[in-house]
Amino acid sequence: MESEQLLDCALDLMRRLPPRKVEENLNALMGLVPHLTEDLLSAIDQPLKLAVCEQTGREFLLCDYNRYAENDGTYADSWRSPWSNEYQPPVQDGASPSPRLRKLEASANDAFDTYRELYYEGGVSSVYMWDLDDGFACVILIKKTSPDGVGMWDSIHVVEVKDKGRVAKYKLTSTIMLYVEKSGKSVAGSLTRQQEQDMPLDDYGMHVANIGRMVEDMEIKMRNLIQEIYFGKTRDIANDLRSVEDVTKGKGPLDELRSELASVVGRKR
């Protein structure tokens, strides 16, 4: 089987396995097809992990977009902090955004740090940017874990930006991974959506506001979808299987059925 077919089969298999065990399943899959390791890592979203910036003491999130990449495309266990712009552990000639883009990255980190505090009331956020030939790209990461550890929310927003004079074209790909556990029951899954939009650009700094507006709108839409898909459907199914009303109070469907059966039995006697 060709590598492309193997990759399609591997991705299809990952979509059918429990999202809560994505790291375990991904490692097992990479053991079966080691030559597809880089393709699998780039195509499959994993739960975000935390690190602490050694220079500032602030937490930041780890992903492939801020991980050190060798010249041959392989990755090393070193990540760039958005707060200090330095790799941990230190590496030579690690990729960093251009000075102009780095300034925009720092502004975006401050903006989304405020956004995270307002909408999530906690958690950690990180923004990473890199230069492209006709613009730039960035990833916005947000992670929130409940204090008791029974809930986890990971947001991953990848934005590709193309400057076209006074207008910029934005392509947003958003993924949300959710895990909730309560009373021995758990709900886990992920949702991905895309959106493209042209927005006015009076100055370079407006990119932060434009991207922020797109991410805010997308998260609201996806949150409503998740509430409907995961929780609304689960509630509907549970209610169909068993009533939550007390059958001893009032005359409900069970009382009517019981009376009808008693009437039929009485007539047969």
- Predicted TM-score (pTM) of the model is 0.81
Task: Give the DSSP letter of residue 166.
Answer: T
Strand order in the sheet with 87-88: 67-69, 75-80, 87-88
* Token pair of 28 as six digits: 């097992």
Largest CA distance in the chain: 94
CA distance 145 to 246: 35
pLDDT values of the chain reduced to their tens digit, one per residue, 269 residues: 678 888 899 888 888 887 778 888 888 988 888 888 878 877 888 889 999 999 999 999 999 899 998 766 667 789 999 999 999 999 988 899 999 999 999 999 999 999 999 999 999 999 999 999 999 999 999 999 988 878 899 999 999 999 888 999 999 999 999 888 877 777 788 889 999 999 999 999 999 999 999 999 999 999 998 888 777 777 777 777 776 666 555 556 666 766 776 776 666 55
Phi, psi of 55, deg, nearest 5: -85, -35
Check: CB of residue 149 under 8 Å from CB of residue 124: no
CA distance 202 to 207: 9
